[in-house]
Amino acid sequence: MNEIRRVAVVGAGQMGSGIAEVFARAGLDTIVCEKDQTALRAARGRIDRSLHRAVDRGRIDPTDRESTWAHLLFADDLEALADRQLVVEAVVEDEAVKNDVLTTLDKVLADDDAVLATNTSAIPITRLGIATGRASHVLGLHFFNPAPVMPLVELVSSLHTDPAVLERVEGFARNTLGKHVVRSRDRAGFVVNALLVPYLLSAIRMAEAGHATPADIDAGMVHGCAHPMGPLQLADLIGLDTVEAIAQSLYAEYKEPLYAPPPLLSRMVEAGQLGRKTGQGFHPHRKA
């Protein structure tokens, strides 16, 4: 198998644009694919702001920023991805939407050895893989937000994933992207979210019951447990709609009460209060 150099990201929201930046900063030929030009302009804006922050904080220099842009191309048609060796699907956390994208990509990719990766936070990879004709080349490659900063990637194989494909992508993530890789079996939530989401839901239930304010809950965990941010701040960062979707996947798989989305979370999602991406969640935010 050839070295992976031609990559793409489908879906350039908060996570997808960050993954695309990681790829381009690694010197990879990267295509960012979105549904229309409006979404692509928003993606360019996210990447531009992220690169400027990276320069301001000394993580990269201005030359690195310019070289990153030189490795980025933008497209609003999946057909443009025909020659890619690896495509990461990073669309909304909805199984039907993801299956539709993966089914189309399966038909578009010209190389039989091309890998389809999903950035799903919780949906079992087996269910996504069987939507394609190349389940042996489908796996989970789960980045964490913000992808250019967070070092971890979860690598998830399904019952169908070819071990050689898994080894190839792990080497790519470690050696080309410089990420720390942990492997997980194909279970809802994988490693991190299976542990993290019950903690977030517990904090939401505490706020819902009026035991403490969101500010005090977060301050307790930051100053009492040395967490970098509190659970409700973290839920806002992830996106409350994403937290709810992960919780629903976990509850569907395990049927344990600790995974069930609290009513307050569901009401906030229905109200469009999704956290940083909308400017309001458990805390007010400048809209992303």
Number of neighbouring beta carbons within 10 Å of residue 154 = 22
Mean pLDDT of 181-187: 96
Sign of the CA dihedral with 15 first, then 88, 162, and 100 last: positive
Residue 288: which pLDDT band, with cuts at 50, 70 and 90?
low
Residues of the chain with CATH 1.10.1040.10: 192-270
What would the pLDDT profile of 230-243 be if each residue is shown by its tens digit? 999 999 999 999 99
For the chain, what percent of residues have pLDDT higher than 90? 95
Q: Which fold has domain 6-184?
A: Rossmann fold (3.40.50)
Q: Is the pLDDT of residue 128 over 90?
A: yes
Number of neighbouring beta carbons within 10 Å of residue 256 = 10
pLDDT at 285: 87
How far is the C-alpha of 282 from the C-alpha of 288, rounded, in Å? 15
Q: Is the pLDDT of residue 201 over 80?
A: yes
Residues of the chain with CATH 3.40.50.720: 6-184
What would the pLDDT profile of 140-180 be if each residue is shown by its tens digit? 999 998 999 999 999 999 999 999 999 999 999 999 999 99
pLDDT at 125: 96
Buried-state track 35-73, b at ≥16 Cβ within 10 A, e below 16: eeeebbeebbebbeebbeebeeeeebeeeebeebeebbe
Mean pLDDT of 48-56: 95
Mean pLDDT of 277-284: 94
Q: Is the pLDDT of residue 287 over 80?
A: no
Q: Is the pLDDT of residue 126 over 90?
A: yes
Catalytic residue ranges: 121, 142, 154, 193
The yes or no reply on domain 192-270 and CATH 1.10.1040.10 is yes
Average pLDDT, rounded, for the chain: 95
159 within 8 A of 185, measured Cβ to Cβ: no
Q: Is the pLDDT of residue 203 over 70?
A: yes
Three-class SS state of 85: coil
For the chain, what percent of residues have pLDDT higher than 70? 99
Q: Is the pLDDT of residue 84 over 90?
A: yes
Mean pLDDT of 47-74: 95
Q: Is the pLDDT of residue 207 over 90?
A: yes
C-alpha distances out from residue 209 to 221, 231, 269, Å:
18, 16, 18
How far is the C-alpha of 222 from the C-alpha of 225, rounded, in Å? 6
Residue 122: which pLDDT band, with cuts at 50, 70 and 90?
confident
pTM of structure: 0.90
